[in-house]
Amino acid sequence: MKFDTAAGTNPIDAERVVGQPLDRIDGRFKVTGTAPYAYEHHEVAPDTAYGYVVGASIAKGRIARIDDGAVRRAPGVLALVTHQNAGELGQGKRNYAKLLGGPEIQHYHQAVALVVARTFEEARAAANLLRIDYEKAEGKFDLEALAASAPPVEGSSGEGSQAPPVGEYGDFEAGYAASEVRLDQRYATPDESHSMMEPHASIARWDGDELTLWTSNQMIDWGVTDLAETLKIPKEKVRLVSPYIGGGFGGKLFLRADALLAALGAREAGRPVKVALQRPLIPNNTVHRPATIQRIRIGANKDGRIQAIAHDSASGNLPGGKPETAVAQTKALYAGANRMTAMRLAELDLPEGNAMRAPGEAPGLMALEIAMDEMAETLGLDPVEFRILNDTQEDPEKPGRRFSQRQLVQCLRQGAERFGWADRNKAPGAMSDGRWLVGHGMSVGYRDSPVMTSGARVRLGTDGVVTVETDMTDIGTGSFTIIAQTAAEMMGVPIDRVAVSLGDSAYPVSSGSGGQWGANSSTAGVYAACVKLREAVATKLGLNASDIRFEDGQVVSGDRRVPLADAAREGEIVAEDKIEFGDLDKQYAQSTFAGHFVELGVDRFTGEVRVRRMLAVCDAGRILNPKTARSQVIGAMVMGVGGALFEELAVDKRHGFFVNHDLATYEVAVHADIPHQEVVFLDDPDPLTSPMKAKGCGELGLCGVGAAIANAVYNATGVRVRSYPITPEKLIDGLPQVA
C-alpha cells in the first residue's frame, strides 16, 4: 500500500479499540516472569555453553602478543575466539569500530576475546587467565581541547535529525548585528550512557551453515543485514529472534559485540553459546550519547520578535563516526528571517558515539531552551509568551512548506493554565519553603516524526482468531498492544481475539523500534495487511469489499451479517502487505511538539535539587493507546530528570575511557527522585502522517525536559547553570548566604 495522499475516513476512525487506554497484552508475562528475554531462551539449546567477553585495557594501539596457554588448560573451557582464529570478518555499515578488535585497538573495552566454557563461572575464571601484551599509542580524548579546531561536517541521526556543515538562510550576521537585543552564550552537555536494565545479550546456534541468533535488538532487519555482512555469509542464512527487549533507548539499534561473538563462539565450540556483556563493559564497549559544546546566538527586536538565530555545536567521535546533530531543532522550531546552524566533529579515540533516545534534539534543546529563557528575561517577557510570539506554522528555512499539524501554542497555553504558571514568582530566588528555595521552569519539546516502510502478515484462522506476524520489536513501549488494537479495529473483533507475534526475521520486515517512527509506521503496516485481508474475506464470502463493515466479530453488508470465522471455514486466509510512504513528509514538515513545566526545590544549604511536580502537554497526532503513550512520556520525563541532574560519563582524559562504567557509579534517576507527573495529549489525528493519523511520542517526552529543570533551578536560586548535569557544586557558591 502506498501512502501518498492525505488519509480520508477509514476504519481506524471508529476508535472502538484503537485510541482506548487498554492494558498491555504482554503485561501478564512481564509481571509473572514468563516473558523470555534473549539470555533466557533455555529451551532452544539444552547444551548451551557460556561466553565471557574480554575487553581491551587500552584505548588506542595494538595487540603485540596473546598468551592463551593457561586459558586453554583451564577447567571447562571449550573454545577461545580472538582475531587470530576468527577468520576474515567484514564490518556492518552501521558500526564505526570493529566488534572484535585486534591486532589494532580502536577504543577502550573493545572486545578482543571470547572465552567459551561449560559454565559461566568457568568462562569468567578462564578469561582472567588470558594474558595480552599491548603496544599503546597516543590518543585524543578531550573534546574541549579539540572543539575549536574541529572541521565542519554534515550529519544525520538517521532519525530525522540532520543538518549541513553550515546552513545559512537570510543573512545571520547582518540580522544579528541589527537586532536591538542580543544573546551570545555557550552551553555543554556530557557523554551519557543508555543504562538499560537488560544488558546486551545473545544466544547463537548453528545448524549446518545456518545461524539462529536469539538477541536483544531493536531493528531486526538491520541486525540480520549487518551480521551477515560481518560474517560474510548470505543474509538468508541468518535468522534473528528478539520477541522481548528489556530497554534499548537506541543502544540496541545496531549489531553489537555480544551478537557477533556469540556466533563466532558457537562456530568455534561446535555448540550453542550464550553471551551477555557484563555491565562494566557496556558503556565503553557499546555506544553512548556524545558530549556537545554549543554556542547559541539570538537577536531580537525589543518587542520580542526574533530577527536572527544561530546555533553551533561541536561533538566528537571515532574516525568515520557521525556528529551529534544538536542543532537540528533550531532549524525549524522558531520563526526568524536570518538563521545559521553549524556542526563540527572532532576525531576522538573514545568509544563510539551513536543514537541515544532523541539523538540531536535531546541535547540540542537542553541548550536552546535555556537560551530562550535567558533571552526572554533580557527582553522582560514571560518565557511562555516569548515562545508563542515566535511560533511559526511553516518551516522557517523552507517558506511555503507548512507543518502537517503544529499545535505548539495550544500545548503552551493549556500547560500554563494547568500548571498555574501565572501564579509563579518571576523574581529568581524569591520563593521558599523552609530550607528549600522553590522555582518554576518551562521549555518547549520538539521532535520530528519520521516514518519508515513497514510490513506485516495477517492470518484469519478457522477459529476466527486474527494473528499478526511482523518483525517489529517491543522494547517496553507497548508494540504488542497497539498492533493488536490495530488488527482488532480493522477486522472488527475484540482484542482478545488477536494474537501478535513479533521480533523474528522470519516475519515480514517492519520499521523496527527507533527514531519515534515505530508506533505509527508498524501499525500502518498492519493496517495495510488488514486491508488486503478484508478484501480476501469479502471475496470468500461473496460480498462487495467496498460496501462492508467489520464489527462485533461479523462481516456486515446491508442487511446481511456473516460471522467472520465463516470466511475461514475451509482453511485459514493469509494476507501480507507493507506500507510505503510517498513524499508527503517533503511537502509538509511532520513534527511533534510539547510544553514542559516543572516545579522544584533547591536546598539552600547543600544545593541539592528535588523535582516536585512535572507536566507535559503533547501534540502527537492520534494517540493509539493513551495508557501506553502516557507510560512512554513519563518514562522519558524520568530520563530527562536524570540527564539534567545526574547523568555524566566521566572521561579519563589520560587513558581514554569512561571511569564510571557501571550502575553503581553512573547515576540515573530513581523512584525517590521522581515526583507527581501529569501528561496531557491534545489527541488530534493528523491525516498527513499515515492511515493511522498518528505520530510518535516516546522521544518527544524527553526533548526539552532538561532545560525546563535548568530554568526552574535558575528561578529558584538565581544561579544560571549552562553545563549539565546541574550538580550541587555548580550551585553552592551562588546560593544565598546563610548564617
- pLDDT tens for 444-502 read 999 999 999 999 999 999 999 999 999 999 999 999 999 999 999 999 999 999 999 99
**Distance of alpha carbon 639 from alpha carbon 635, whole angstroms:** 6
First to last CA, the chain: 71
Mark the ranges of the chain whose per-residue pLDDT is less than 70: 739
**Distance of alpha carbon 356 from alpha carbon 249, whole angstroms:** 6
C-alpha angle with apex 194: 139 to 56, nearest 5 degrees? 35
Q: Is 234 helix (H, G, I), strand (E, B) or coil?
A: coil
**Contact yes or no for 255/90 (Cβ under 8 A):** no
Q: Is 573 helix (H, G, I), strand (E, B) or coil?
A: strand
Q: Can you list the domains of the chain with their CATH numbers?
A: 2-35+451-586 (3.30.365.10), 403-450+590-739 (3.30.365.10)
Percent of the chain with pLDDT over 90: 97
User: For the chain, how big is the Rg over CA atoms in Å?
Assistant: 27
Task: Quote the cell numbers at residue 411.
Answer: 500545548
Q: How many CB atoms lie within 10 A of CB 173?
A: 15
**Contact yes or no for 601/405 (Cβ under 8 A):** no
Task: Quote the cell numbers at residue 543.
Answer: 460480498
pTM above 0.95, yes or no: yes
Quick one: CA dihedral 220, 222, 226, 232, positive or negative?
A: positive
**What DSSP designation does 404 have?**
S
Q: Hey, which residues does 441 pair with through a beta bridge?
A: 598
**Distance of alpha carbon 175 from alpha carbon 182, whole angstroms:** 11
**Distance of alpha carbon 390 from alpha carbon 370, whole angstroms:** 16
**Contact yes or no for 639/599 (Cβ under 8 A):** no
pLDDT for residue 546: 85
**Contact yes or no for 590/517 (Cβ under 8 A):** no
**562: amino acid identity, one letter:** V
pLDDT tens digits, one per residue of 48-94: 999 999 999 999 999 999 999 999 999 999 999 999 999 999 999 99
From the candidates 361, 417, 699, 729, give the one annotated as an active-site residue: 699
Task: Quote the cell numbers at residue 687.
Answer: 491525516
pLDDT for residue 739: 58
Task: Quote the cell numbers at residue 474.
Answer: 517491543
Q: Is 699 a catalytic residue?
A: yes
pLDDT tens digits, one per residue of 89-107: 999 999 999 999 999 999 9
Q: Strand 111-117 vs strand 49-55: parallel, antiparallel, or unpaired?
A: antiparallel
Within 8 A by CB and 6+ apart from 512, the residues are: 218, 219, 220, 221, 222, 253, 452, 471, 472, 473, 518
**Contact yes or no for 407/619 (Cβ under 8 A):** yes
C-alpha angle with apex 72: 71 to 73, nearest 5 degrees? 90
Phi, psi angles (nearest 5°) of residue 406: -145, 105
Quick one: CA dihedral 650, 656, 662, 664, positive or negative?
A: negative
Secondary element (H or E) of residue 65: strand 61-67
Secondary element (H or E) of residue 614: strand 609-619
**Sole residue written with cell 509473572:** 32
